[in-house]
Chain A
Amino acid sequence: MTLLAVERIKLFSTRSPWWCMLLALGLTVGITAIIAANWTDSPMPVLGAVFTHTFGLYVVMVMAALAVTTEYRFGTIKSTFQAVPDRISPMVAKAVVVVLLSGLVGLASAFGSWGLSWVLAEDNSDLALTTANDWRHVAGVGLVYAAGALLALGVGALVRQTAGAVSIILVFALVVESVVGFIPNIGDDIQKWMPFTVASKFIFGDPDPSAIPNGAGPPAIGELSPWGSFGYFAGIALVIYIVSLVVVKRRDA
């Protein structure tokens, strides 16, 4: 428990996490507000309120990566390991704090976007969260942010450099996953298993008719069910994170 407090002090006594959280909420809720205010002619569907969740996801992942890489950048990781030489427990404590916080940011972002859509949309008759699927579209954002943060923590601990970690995460999520689809013959099959692509299936997949107007909306690519998709994404995050723990334990600090 004390190590959780330690990581909480570390995280909140610098400014970048605050900026990242504000930016994540601003991007998602702000852009959704614009979408909602301009949604005319038809009732706004639930999925319309969470289109923007990916922007926030990238920012939250940057925040999580920074939580590790700044420790390496400024040498505080050495003080951390001096204070707790087993190395694993402070890294796990950091993950618990960052993952929980990211999950909360995800929930705030999704319910903020949804609530503001409710207020701003001309016709909010389809926005009500009536089914389990409706709830998954919105509350699921919290889970995706949490798992994404775990993934970013792992990458950050492996790479140890802010620039390197952030570029790997962003280039992979924004470029590699879409470019892969252009590889002839096998591209589509590979893309189906790309982690961020699969993660959006968890949010956007299997909508009820009330969540999306007949078949329109964001693509949900992947072979797995929505919950299976989340398991897959979280599994990848967990594997990378555990690999990073092993490396951190063995490597010279």
Chain B
Amino acid sequence: MIEAVGLTKRYGKTVAVDNLSFTVEPGRVTGFLGPNGAGKSTTMRMILGLDRPTSGQVLIDGKPYARLDRPLRTVGALLDAKWVHPNRSAQAHLQWLAKSNGLPDRRVDEVLDMVGLTKVAKRRAGGFSLGMSQRLGIAGALLGDPKVLLFDEPVNGLDPEGILWIRQFMQGLAAEGRTVLVSSHLLSEMALTAQDLVVIGRGKLISQSSTTEFVERSTENTVRVRSPHADKLGAMLVDKGFTVREDTDGSLTVSGAQSDEIGDIAAASGVVLHELSPQRGSLEQAFMQLTGDSVEYHAELAETGK
């Protein structure tokens, strides 16, 4: 379990992380979501004791990172797949890591096997593709068989096969009862991977909830209705206080109503329905709505488009 309490990081006058508190539970994949520059990586570095918080603290199973004994056995992390010496072989890279926390050499072969890099173990890591580097990074994170795992934007730049592999891998780790925190700036990706979401913008906590709850709360639900008596039905729905928009093809988009309510109203007045389908707003839209004010660098286009 990871607990952040009042975590704050200032660089001069810039506040990168602002009084951030959240918890990450074991047994679930928790998505750490926010636009680029929201402070996700800074927060992850503070969790690992690499950056010193200006104030506040992070505890891992009740202890600050620096107080963990042989920390790779408790926390595994992949912050950047390129953090490998390009002229060192994958095996040598894992060997020194393993040795530093008193893990046996045999464990190196095990994790290489887990991520499917056994065949290229002796090759220099500088020649690896992004996907292979990512796998090497994950192998490094798994070395100490840790209870807590952190991944920073692990699917960035990967092909669909690589994305699927990582997604399933993380879900597998959580299913084994581990605490998994994955950062991303893509809500659509997180919706597929994470059960819980910690959403931040400009270093501040925007929400912490389950993914379904977040998506339901933040997307606008509408119902699409097609009917030969659209005019009559539209008028009745407006009377009931729902917002109705008529689309160019003659169908109605009703917001604020559940599809069963509309079905009941139509049946009561004998209106024939050709279509009655609940629509879910896009995740991107919801995310934009929530974090829109907290994106650090707005594109000009977005400003004028409002």
Contacts and interface: CB of A to CB of B under 8 A. Distances in A.
B100 A253 contact: no
B87 A83 contact: no
Given A74-B83, A78-B83, 20 more contacts: A2-B100, A5-B99, A9-B92, A9-B95, A13-B93, A14-B85, A74-B84, A74-B86, A76-B84, A79-B97, A82-B48, A82-B72, A83-B101, A84-B100, A85-B68, A85-B71, A90-B100, A250-B52, A252-B45, A253-B51
Chain B, interface size category, equals 20 to 34
15 contacts: A3-B100, A10-B88, A13-B85, A14-B88, A76-B83, A78-B50, A78-B80, A78-B83, A79-B83, A80-B100, A81-B50, A82-B50, A85-B68, A86-B66, A253-B51
Contacts of B95: 9, 13
Interface in A1-39: 2-3, 5-6, 9-10, 13-16
B65 A85 contact: yes
Given A78-B50, A83-B72, A252-B45, A13 B77 contact: no
Interface residues of A, number: 27
A53 to B, nearest CB: 29
Q: Give the residue among B51, B85, B93 with the most A Cβ atoms within 10 A.
A: B85
Interface in B46-103: 48-52, 65-66, 68, 71-72, 75, 77, 79-80, 82-89, 92-93, 95-97, 99-102
Given A75-B82, A75-B83, A80-B100, A13 B92 contact: yes
Interface of A: 2-3, 5-6, 9-10, 13-16, 70, 74-76, 78-86, 90, 250, 252-253
Nearest to B137: A79
A57 to B, nearest CB: 25
Binding site secondary structure of chain A:
helix
Contacts of A5: 99
Closest 10 CB pairs of A and B: A75-B83, A13-B92, A83-B100, A253-B50, A9-B96, A252-B51, A85-B66, A6-B100, A14-B87, A13-B88
Q: Give the residue among B51, B66, B83, B92 with the most A Cβ atoms within 10 A.
A: B83
A85 B84 contact: no
Contact of A78 (B68, B79, B87, B101): B79
A82 to B, nearest CB: 5
A79 B66 CA distance: 14
Nearest to B75: A82
Q: Give the residue among B52, B68, B97 with the most A Cβ atoms within 10 A.
A: B97
Interface in B16-54: 45, 48-52
Q: Give the residue among A15, A82, A253 with the most B Cβ atoms within 10 A.
A: A82
A148 B18 CA distance: 44
Contacts of B80: 75, 78
Q: Give the residue among B71, B89, B99 with the most A Cβ atoms within 10 A.
A: B99
A213 to B, nearest CB: 47
Contacts of B77: 82
Contacts of B234: none
Q: Give the residue among A75, A90, A250 with the most B Cβ atoms within 10 A.
A: A75
Interface in B193-217: none
A6 B50 contact: no
Q: Give the residue among A2, A85, A253 with the most B Cβ atoms within 10 A.
A: A85
B131 interface: no
Contact of A76 (B51, B79, B85): B85
Contacts of A3: 100
A70 B102 CA distance: 24
B108 to A, nearest CB: 11
A171 B128 CA distance: 36
A119 B22 CA distance: 73
B140 interface: yes
Contacts of A82: 48-50, 71-72, 75, 77
